[in-house]
Amino acid sequence: MSRTVNVAAAQMGPIQRSDSRADAVERLLVLLREAHGRGAELVVFPELALTTFFPRYASTDQAEVDTWFETEMPSAVTRPLFDEAARLGVGFCLGYGELTPDGHHYNTQLMVERDGSFVGRYRKVHLPGHAQVEGYRAFQHLEKYYFEVGPQGFQTWRAFGGVVGMLICNDRRWPESYRVLGLKGAELITIGYNTPIHNPPAPEHDRFGDFHNQLVMSAGAYQNGTWVVGVAKAGEEEGVPMIGGSCIIHPSGMVVAQCAGVGDEVVVAACDLDECTSYKRSVFNFALHRRTEHYGLIASQTEAIPPA
């Protein structure tokens, strides 16, 4: 019997700074119901799906900073999403800013099973951008200011009939992210992202934005024999256009479903987790073919590469 999970990529259009959490939850509920109506058993939402991408703004007022974060999940305003998902028997992944009881700030994604049970929580490891305001920028990307690096690293959990893992946004650009999850047996990796079209430190890359998005997720899927579901918050947020391209990717690296626009949009695919096996048992049979002891691995960049 195949281990097929019907998965939805539930892309969001922009969340403006003035939009409330309740506004965002209402949109998430519409996406959840549409996905359920199309047979989805797992609905993947974007990174920071409750607020605008607030690392775009500098704020030294800690009270204001903390307004961007959730101190409990679910909270009164997010509880309707959890309740409706459980009522419909649909699992989901949700990205949000997390403020822990002991005062740590993370860029977090959680996963909930179809019965409403908690599967796991992942805290973003690769924080792009910068920690101090950079005056040359048309907009900031202060993830190194707002968030701490997730201390638990890349984890997998048994859920949805297989082994699942989570990454967030910039993590998807780093092959190690997928490889660690691949080594831990991942068969389905869910990734929320908020990616501006323009990257101020390297504008010459901007025209490759959609290609790079596709490249890294397809490579991660194929090189680790896993399904990958990447989901954008897209469109123009406070004057900053962000890429869409939300998609569901087969372990071959082929895209089987993709959003066409940059608004709220659902695509669904039947993900047979058994499709991972032929990749994990042949070309990417790590035990048989991977030889790290012969790689000449180094812990950090060699001096041969000029510093930034």
Q: How far is the CB of 173 from ligand ING (least distance, A)?
A: 6
Q: How far is the CB of 269 from ligand ING (least distance, A)?
A: 22
Q: Is 173 in the site for ligand ING (CB under 6 A)?
A: yes
User: Which CB, 54 or 160, lies closer to ligand ING?
Assistant: 54
Told to judge if 47 belongs to the known catalytic residues of this protein, a careful annotator would answer yes
Of the candidate residues 14, 46, 196, 244, the single one contacting ligand ING (CB under 6 A): 196
Q: How far is CA 296 from CA 283, 285, 291, in A?
A: 22, 20, 10
Q: Is 169 in the site for ligand ING (CB under 6 A)?
A: yes
User: Which CB, 6 or 140, lies closer to ligand ING?
Assistant: 140
Q: Is 175 in the site for ligand ING (CB under 6 A)?
A: no
Of the candidate residues 4, 75, 155, 199, the single one contacting ligand ING (CB under 6 A): 199
Paired tokens of 93? 């992944």
User: Which CB, 88 or 125, lies closer to ligand ING?
Assistant: 125
**204: CB partners within 8 A, 6+ apart:** none
Q: Is 193 in the site for ligand ING (CB under 6 A)?
A: yes
Q: Is 191 in the site for ligand ING (CB under 6 A)?
A: no
Torsion of CA 78, 91, 278, 295, to 10 degrees: 30
Q: Is 195 in the site for ligand ING (CB under 6 A)?
A: yes
Q: How far is the CB of 250 from ligand ING (least distance, A)?
A: 22
Q: Is 128 in the site for ligand ING (CB under 6 A)?
A: yes
Told to judge if 271 belongs to the known catalytic residues of this protein, a careful annotator would answer no
Catalytic residue among 47, 98, 113, 187: 47
Q: How far is the CB of 170 from ligand ING (least distance, A)?
A: 3
Catalytic residue among 70, 98, 169, 280: 169
- Looking at the DSSP bridge assignments, the partners of residue 8 are 43, 268
Region from 63-71, 98-106, 145-153, 193-201 binding ligand ING, contact rule CB under 6 A = 193-201
- Looking at the DSSP bridge assignments, the partners of residue 265 are 11
Q: Are 165 and 120 in contact (CB under 8 A)?
A: no
Paired tokens of 34? 């549409």
Catalytic residue among 124, 259, 265, 275: 124
User: Which CB, 247 or 273, lies closer to ligand ING?
Assistant: 247
Told to judge if 144 belongs to the known catalytic residues of this protein, a careful annotator would answer no
User: Which CB, 199 or 223, lies closer to ligand ING?
Assistant: 199
Region from 9-17, 26-34, 192-200, 271-279 binding ligand ING, contact rule CB under 6 A = 192-200
Query: Residue numbers of the site for ligand ING (CB under 6 A)?
Result: 128, 169-170, 173, 193-196, 199
Residues marked active site are found at 47, 124, 169
